[in-house]
Amino acid sequence: MKTVLFSTLLLATTFIASCTVKSACTNMVKAEVFQGIDGCGLLFKLQNGNILNPTNLEEMKLDVKVGNIVDIAFEKVEVMNICMTGETVKLNCIQILE
């Protein structure tokens, strides 16, 4: 009985350990980090020219600087913002490339 219980527990642990959590880092796009617009912090310029204004960059706990090239995954959010440029977004994932 103990052997069956141990084997079942071992098998269940193996199944759980082999499962992967779906990453937020899907559908990522490349962007350049820039600054210089009054009332705005760091902004992202996509390769198609669109500007993104992230609401949660500080939460990402990365040392993102002006001039960095990053990969980002984001979702659009409808919030009030004093920055009058770009689309306001929530970052789901960010990776510094350069």
* CATH number for 55: 2.40.50.500
Tell me whether residue 7 is in a domain. Answer: no
What is the model's pLDDT at position 78?
A: 94
Tell me whether residue 62 is in a domain. Answer: yes
Mean pLDDT per block of 10 residues along the chain (98 residues) reads 57 49 72 91 95 94 94 94 92 93
Torsion sign (Cα): 78, 81, 86, 91: negative
What is the model's pLDDT at position 58?
A: 93
Tell me whether residue 4 is in a domain. Answer: no
What is the model's pLDDT at position 89?
A: 96
Tell me whether residue 10 is in a domain. Answer: no
Angle 77-80-82 (CA atoms, 0-180°, nearest 5)? 120
Tell me whether residue 50 is in a domain. Answer: yes
The count of domains in the chain is: 1
Supply the range of the domain harboring residue 42: 23-96
Tell me whether residue 9 is in a domain. Answer: no
What is the model's pLDDT at position 27?
A: 80
Tell me whether residue 5 is in a domain. Answer: no
Tell me whether residue 15 is in a domain. Answer: no
What is the model's pLDDT at position 13?
A: 54
